Each structure stands twice: as structure tokens, then as C-alpha cells.
Structure 1
Amino acid sequence: MDDRPATETQSPTGLEALRERLRLLYHGHSSGALRFQYAVMMVDLLIVVFFVASPVLRERPSFLWIDYSIATLLALDITARAMASKDAPRWLRQPTSIVDVFILLTLLFPLWLANLGFLRVLRLWSLSRSGVFWRPLVRRGYAPWREVVQSAVNLITFLFVVTGFIYTFFFRKGSGFTGYIDALYFTVTSMTTTGYGDILLPGPWGKLTAVVIMLAGISLFIRLGQAIFRPQKVRYPCPQCGLQRHDPDAVHCKACGYMLKIPDPDE
């Protein structure tokens, strides 16, 4: 017969207690959890700044030291998020998680995957869709700006990914910071279809690259304009048909007519 107290037999194991603690930190609403989420957000933004500048910094002696330090932080963050998730395999299959794992690989093998380093800026895109990033902002009343911010982030991410691509494959050899600025300048003039013509990419691949940048840039600018100027919507999934976006004062779902109970944003 087991004479141990019931509380002892029902207490969570060390791993389960750690997972519960991580859930409270990453998904909780307490003041301590919000402070943790803000700290994670700031560290992520600093990491993104390093990723933007990494094509230029790659030749510095301290680059590998910073690279592996960030790899350690990112590995710990991915592991913690997976443990905090109720369904870790499903979480790992999400596009944002796949992007983060790929970025981790470029950090762990910077010499082998050097030509793919510009894709690390995609971390900004995955961050803009992270619940850890938006949860504290939503509680402070910034939920209506979510679509605008995500559209702006899509544009900024595309800008710096393309800049890194052009710098890596067209300007990199001995060009340094000046070459990176030229790559950024070419990307902006192509995205805006200004086309001054003072900087051109050589060969047919350069022309095809410029065409892709123009088409994608116009689409992202239009998307950002729509997010800014069209009427504000709130995210509230309809319990019956699943429609996600509704007018703030909507009483019935426009798709199925179901009576909605959208909470006031100030509550």
C-alpha cells in the first residue's frame, strides 16, 4: 500500500513543471510574463538588426563569435517555444517555426551556408507573426494596427532580403559597405519602378532579378496601402462559419448572419 500523500503522487515531474513554467512565460498575461515577453521581443529585434547588417560584417574578426552567440540564443528560444507548445510536432510544422530552424542552421554553419545568410532577415517576418510579439501589444490596445504592421514588415523584410541577395551575388567582392548601399539603392529604385539607370545588374539574370523585384515591390506597396487606408476591421472568428475579420460594431456575421458578441477592445 502506498502511504505517500496524494499531493506528492500528483505533483508534476521536473520536465512537466518546466513546460508549465514556459507556457506561463510565453503565453501568460501576468506582469512577470509580460516583462519576459517584452524582453524576448527586444532581443529578437536586436538580432534582426544584426541579420540586416551581417552581409557587411561577415569579414570582421568578431563575426563568428557573434554568430555563434546568436545561434545559442535562437536554439534556446526555439527549444523553449517547442516545450511551451501543447503540440510540439504541430508547432514545428508551422511556416514561422520552419523559417526559424532554417535560420538556426545558417548560424550554426555560417561558412557552408554563407551565400544563404541574407535569408536570416526572414526572422523579422516570423517575429511579426509571433504570439509572443503581439500578445503584450494587444493588451495595450494595438490590436487594430496588427495588419498594418504586418504589411509594413512584409515590405521591409522583402527589401532587406533582396538587398542581401543582390549584395551577395552581384556586389559582394571587395565592395564592403559601399556595395551594400548600392544594392539597397538598386532594390529601392526597382521596387518603386523609378529606374534611374545609374546602377544596373549585369547579364540576363540581373534583368530577370529586376523584373521580379518590380512586380513583388508593387504588390507589397499596394498591400500596405490597403491595410492603411481601408476601414479598420477586428479579428474575431465567427463561431459558425469561421470568418476572421468583422467591422468593430458588427452585430451579425456578414457571411452567415450569425449573431456575434465582439468584446469591446477596452475591456
Structure 2
Amino acid sequence: MSRARPAPEPESVEHKNGGLRLRARLRALYHGSSPVAVRFRLAVLIVDLAIVAFFIAAPLLRGEGLIFYIIDYVIAAILAADLAARASAYSNIRDWLRKPIVWMDLFILATLLFPFFFNLGFLRVLRLWTLIHSDFFWRTVGRRYDDTRVEDVIKALVSLVTFVFVATGFVYTSFMGRHDGISGYLDALYFTVTSLTTTGYGDITLPGDWGRIVSILIMLGGVTLFVRLGQTLLRPNKVRFPCDRCGLQVHDPDAVHCKACGQILCIPDEGA
């Protein structure tokens, strides 16, 4: 005869139920559409933007000593709590870990926690890019602009701004104190902007072959992002409306037939 399984301990059942309730609550806050969930996500976004502002200003604040590092670790605790909450709110943790944005956030957290990553602190500004490219942002403050031209323009602009500050941080970290032309963060920012716009006044140049390689990469990256932003601003307006037959995602706002397969479309007129 098989033995009956012992009944689960009341404390373990209560603990399990409590964990399920917590995950359900987090899922409702991070993915729900209730007023409480929207206010919660707005508060999270405000904190995120404040953290990004600190990351941008960090090179100017390092002289504050102990206070700077205390703020650093407080931000690390906030980001760790946010990542843990997002993971709990996600239905499948493996799918969540497959997202490149998640790994970028984990790397940013590592630069805050471990001293040997401090020289890579300029990469923390990538948090701005991950924030604007996340569904979390567009479901909260940009719902009416989600999958529209406005979203494309904002993403292109943020990519350019992020590149400017990441490149500035790299130049500042790599050449500050090693080259007379880079005597402060403003000099690094000035050099980055003049390089990526290909203005090249020549009053600040980076020394050696490594300096030339960095200058070339900044110019190529800046021109590419400028062209992308210009294309996004100037190209004809399109709307996202997948074709049922061929799957083409974007069409002209007044399109009647799919230009790829000829399928009849019925695109809603938001202005009507």
C-alpha cells in the first residue's frame, strides 16, 4: 500500500500563497491599466529619469567623495529592487532574461556595485536608451504615440543624445589628465560634439593613433545617427497596420490596398 502524502505545513502554504499574491500585485502594477498602476509606473519613470540625470552629471560630482559613493550605492539598491520586481512581474523569467535591455540594465547595476567597473561608469547613461526603448515607457506615458512616427522620432533623438554622452564619458575617462586639451568634462563634451558633427575646429585633438581611432568612430557614429534622425523626421508619414495576407507592417495612412500583395485594407481613421 502506498503511503499517503503528508499534508503541507500551514506556514509553507501561507508563504507560497503570499509569494503568489505578491507576484500578482507586481504584475498588476507593472503591466496593468488601472489608475493606480499608471500612477505607480509614472513614479518609477520619474525616479528613472532622476537617476539618468545623476549618471550624466556623475563626472562633475566625483569630487564630492563619500557622499557620491553613498548616492551610488543607494541608486544600485533602487535599480536592484526594480529589476527584481520586474522579474517577478514577468510571467516567464527565461523570456525576460532573453531581452538585451535586461542584460544592459544588469551591466549598469554591476558598474554601481563593483569598484573594478567604475572606469566604465560612463556606460550608465545607456539607461536612458533602455528606458525610452522599453515597452514600460510607451505603455505609461506614450500610449497614444505607441507605434507611431512620434515614437520613431523620439527613439532616434534619444539614441543620438545617448551616444553623445557615452562618447563624452569615454573621452573624459580615457584622456583626462593624459592630454592637455582635455582638462575637464566640458572639454570632452565639446570635442565629442565638434567631432560627430564633423566641424573639426582643431583646437582640441586626441593624441596618437588611439586618439585618431576614437575620433573616427565618433564621427562615423554621429553621422549615422544624424542621418537616421533626419530620415525619421523627413520621410513620409506611415501607420502601423499589419496586412492579413503578407504581414507588411506599415502603410500609407490613406492606403486602400496593400502595396506588397494587393490585399484590401481597412485602416482606422483616428481623425474621424
Question: Per the shorter chain, which TM-score range?
Answer: 0.7 to 0.9
For 1:167, the aligned partner's letter is: Y
Q: 1:39 aligned to 29, 40, 43, which one?
A: 43
For 2:53, the aligned partner's letter is: V
Counterparts of residues 61-76 of structure 1 (less than 5 Å): 61=65, 62-76=67-81
Q: 2:253 aligned to 245, 248, 251, which one?
A: 248
Contact conserved, 2:145 with 2:151, CA < 8 A, in 1? no
Aligned length: 255
Partner of 1:219: 224
Q: Which runs of 5+ in 2 are unaligned?
A: 1-12
Contact conserved, 1:92 with 1:98, CA < 8 A, in 2? yes
Partner of 1:30: 34
Partner of 1:156: 161
Q: Which runs of 5+ in 1 are unaligned?
A: 1-8
1:255 is paired with a residue whose SS is coil
C-alpha change, 1:85 and 1:237, in structure 2 (3 Å) is farther
In angstroms, what is the RMSD of aligned CA positions?
A: 2.4
Contact conserved, 2:179 with 2:207, CA < 8 A, in 1? no
C-alpha change, 1:254 and 1:14, in structure 2 (3 Å) is farther
Contact conserved, 1:19 with 1:84, CA < 8 A, in 2? yes
Partner of 2:25: 21
Partner of 1:3: none
C-alpha change, 1:88 and 1:241, in structure 2 (3 Å) is farther
Counterparts of residues 78-89 of structure 1 (less than 5 Å): 78-89=83-94
Contact conserved, 1:233 with 1:248, CA < 8 A, in 2? yes
Counterparts of residues 183-202 of structure 1 (less than 5 Å): 183-202=188-207
Relative contact order (C-alpha < 8 Å, sep 6+): which is higher?
Answer: 1
Separation of aligned partners in 2, 1:21 and 1:257? 46
1:59 is paired with a residue whose SS is helix
List per-residue Cα deviations over 1:126-151 (Å, max 9, x = no partner).
00111121112333456431000000
List per-residue Cα deviations over 1:3-35 (Å, max 9, x = no partner).
xxxxxx9xx922222222212211112211111
Instruction: Give yes or no for the alignment of 1:94 onto 2:99.
Output: yes
Instruction: Give yes or no for the alignment of 1:119 onto 2:123.
Output: yes
- Deviating more after overlay: 149-158 vs 58-67: 58-67
List per-residue Cα deviations over 1:168-209 (Å, max 9, x = no partner).
01015799x961000000000000000000001111100110
1:158 is paired with a residue whose SS is helix
Partner of 1:139: 143
Contact conserved, 1:141 with 1:265, CA < 8 A, in 2? no
Separation of aligned partners in 1, 2:178 and 2:213? 21
Contact conserved, 1:234 with 1:245, CA < 8 A, in 2? yes
List per-residue Cα deviations over 1:53-80 (Å, max 9, x = no partner).
1122223221111001100110111111
For 2:24, the aligned partner's letter is: E
Separation of aligned partners in 2, 1:38 and 1:262? 31
Separation of aligned partners in 1, 2:60 and 2:166? 14
Q: 1:168 aligned to 173, 177, 184, which one?
A: 173
Q: Percent identity?
A: 56
1:38 is paired with a residue whose SS is helix
List per-residue Cα deviations over 1:194-244 (Å, max 9, x = no partner).
000000111110011001111111010000011111122233444444433
Partner of 2:239: 234
Which of these two proteins has the greater Rg computed from alpha carbons? 2
2:259 is paired with a residue whose SS is coil
2:63 is paired with a residue whose SS is coil
Contact conserved, 2:176 with 2:183, CA < 8 A, in 1? no
